[in-house]
Homo-oligomer: A and B are copies of this chain.
Amino acid sequence: MANVTIVGAGLMGTATAYPLSDNGHNVRLVGTHLDRDIIKSCREKRYHPRLRCELPPTVQPYYVDEIAEAMRDTDIIVSGVNSLGVRWIGKTIGPYLQAGQLVIAVTKGLEVTTNGELVILPDVLASELPAGIRNQVELAAIGGPCIAGELARRRQSCVVFGSRDREAAERLAAVFRTSCYHIWTTTDLLGLEYSVALKNGYTLGVGLAAGLSEKAGDSDMADVHTYNMAAAIFAQGCTEIERMLQIVGGTPFFAYGLPGVGDLFVTSQGGRTVRLGRLLGAGHSLAEARQIMAGETLEAVEIIRAMSCALPKLVEGGTLAPDELPLMRALIDIVVYNQPVRLPFDRFFKNIARA
């Protein structure tokens, strides 16, 4: 049995405790400073208030100031924070890491450097680790369609574990895999991370359709939706994920597998990213939408902002033509430049004409 330390007691981090506990592993669930109420509930009632689930039996909850104890003799660390907490987690676990440990992150996103280079989050996390340990631990990430509440309730879920080190990915998969948590492994960590990060941006795009319909006063028509528009945005998003994978040297077919289209589908079924898109489509500014959705992490905004810095660099370098990724450009106009929603459908699907 392994010792696994989950840092970040939000929905997704905590949800990984369920397959781990089902496999009999010892799980230490460490809340961040934002998770105090959650840990209190977990300690007193063994109940996770956001997942609305009982904690599984082999899980021990810890406050963040008890992290030293939670990291003792651990084998695997799960980074359960969101994209804004990645540097924090690197700094926080760094002092306790030991050679041979594995770190796996549920976080989805991309960071952009000041000169417009995109960096995947496991590399951001690694950059915060002490130099002496950085190459002594393997980093990995989880991608694919997995809503936390379903995983915690043991619904069938299919995900991908990526690590540049094949053996690390396989070792991790063997620890987490259950009869309802199906895991594939890949060494294309880069492609996996780009796919699952970009899908957040494109999900916001899918959400625009319902908002535009509301704005036009169409949404009261019984049974008539804007699924045609949503589907076109969905398909263009998938096409653009594939193009970005080509550009960065990722596995193109992730676009139409679990990490791309699978994750895009699950996120498009509802939740905060679709809701944000809907608000923007209905005519709210990002500032207004942020106010309405106060307290929610809007990772789609971060990825679209990162892409707004990266695209000019890619065009400048000649890897991307100025008319490519028209949907992402439209999302940038809306989210970063506060422009009214305009979707350039006729610039989508350039590849069809070549077929």
**A97 to B352 CA separation, bound complex (whole angstroms):** 30
Chain B positions within 8 Å of A227 at CB level: 145, 147, 150, 265-266, 269
**A221 to B187 CA separation, bound complex (whole angstroms):** 37
User: Do the beta carbons of B254 and A256 come within 8 Å of each other?
Assistant: no
Residue in A234, A251, A254 with the greatest tally of chain B CB atoms within 10 Å: A234
Q: A256-B239, A353-B184 are in contact. Are A213 and B155 (CB under 8 A)?
A: yes
Q: Can you list, as one digit per residue, whether each of A164-202 has a CB less than 8 Å from chain B (1) or not (0)? A: 000000000000000000101111100100000000000
Closest to A256 in B: B256
Chain B positions within 8 Å of A265 at CB level: 227, 230-231, 234-235, 265, 268
Chain B positions within 8 Å of A150 at CB level: 224-229
User: Do the beta carbons of B257 and A234 come within 8 Å of each other?
Assistant: no
Chain B positions within 8 Å of A221 at CB level: 153
Q: Can you list, as one digit per residue, whether each of A261-290 has a CB less than 8 Å from chain B (1) or not (0)? A: 111011011000000000000000000000
Chain B positions within 8 Å of A352 at CB level: 160, 184-186, 257-258
User: Do the beta carbons of A223 and B349 come within 8 Å of each other?
Assistant: no
Q: How many protomers of this protein does the assembly include?
A: 2
CB-contact partner of A256 in B191, B235, B268, B348, under 8 A? B235
**A204 to B28 CA separation, bound complex (whole angstroms):** 41
For residue A126, give the distance in angstroms from its CB to the closest CB of chain B: 21
**A145 to B263 CA separation, bound complex (whole angstroms):** 19
Range, interface on chain A: 35 or more
- The answer, yes or no, to whether A355 is at the interface (CB within 8 Å) is yes
User: Do the beta carbons of B349 and A235 come within 8 Å of each other?
Assistant: no
**A253 to B253 CA separation, bound complex (whole angstroms):** 10
Q: A238-B261, A257-B239, A265-B265 are in contact. Are A229 and B355 (CB under 8 A)?
A: no
User: Do the beta carbons of B155 and A353 come within 8 Å of each other?
Assistant: no
Q: Can you list, as one digit per residue, whether each of A149-169 has a CB less than 8 Å from chain B (1) or not (0)? A: 111010111101000000000
**A198 to B263 CA separation, bound complex (whole angstroms):** 21
User: Do the beta carbons of B261 and A145 come within 8 Å of each other?
Assistant: no
User: Do the beta carbons of A232 and B258 come within 8 Å of each other?
Assistant: yes
Residue in A231, A234, A262 with the greatest tally of chain B CB atoms within 10 Å: A231
User: Do the beta carbons of A256 and B266 come within 8 Å of each other?
Assistant: no
User: Do the beta carbons of A155 and B229 come within 8 Å of each other?
Assistant: yes
User: Do the beta carbons of B160 and A231 come within 8 Å of each other?
Assistant: no
CB-contact partner of A257 in B238, B263, B346, under 8 A? B238
Q: Can you list, as one digit per residue, whether each of A229-263 has a CB less than 8 Å from chain B (1) or not (0)? A: 11110110011001000000001011111101111
Chain B positions within 8 Å of A238 at CB level: 256-257, 261
User: Do the beta carbons of B234 and A261 come within 8 Å of each other?
Assistant: yes
Chain B positions within 8 Å of A65 at CB level: none
Q: Can you list, as one digit per residue, whether each of A135-153 has a CB less than 8 Å from chain B (1) or not (0)? A: 0000000001111011101
User: Do the beta carbons of A186 and B147 come within 8 Å of each other?
Assistant: no
- Tell me the A309-355 residues at the B interface (CB within 8 Å): 343, 345-346, 348-349, 351-353, 355
User: Do the beta carbons of B156 and A229 come within 8 Å of each other?
Assistant: yes
- The answer, yes or no, to whether A218 is at the interface (CB within 8 Å) is yes
For residue A1, give the distance in angstroms from its CB to the closest CB of chain B: 23
Contacts A/B (CB < 8 Å), 9 sampled? A144-B232, A182-B346, A187-B355, A231-B258, A231-B262, A231-B266, A238-B257, A254-B355, A265-B265
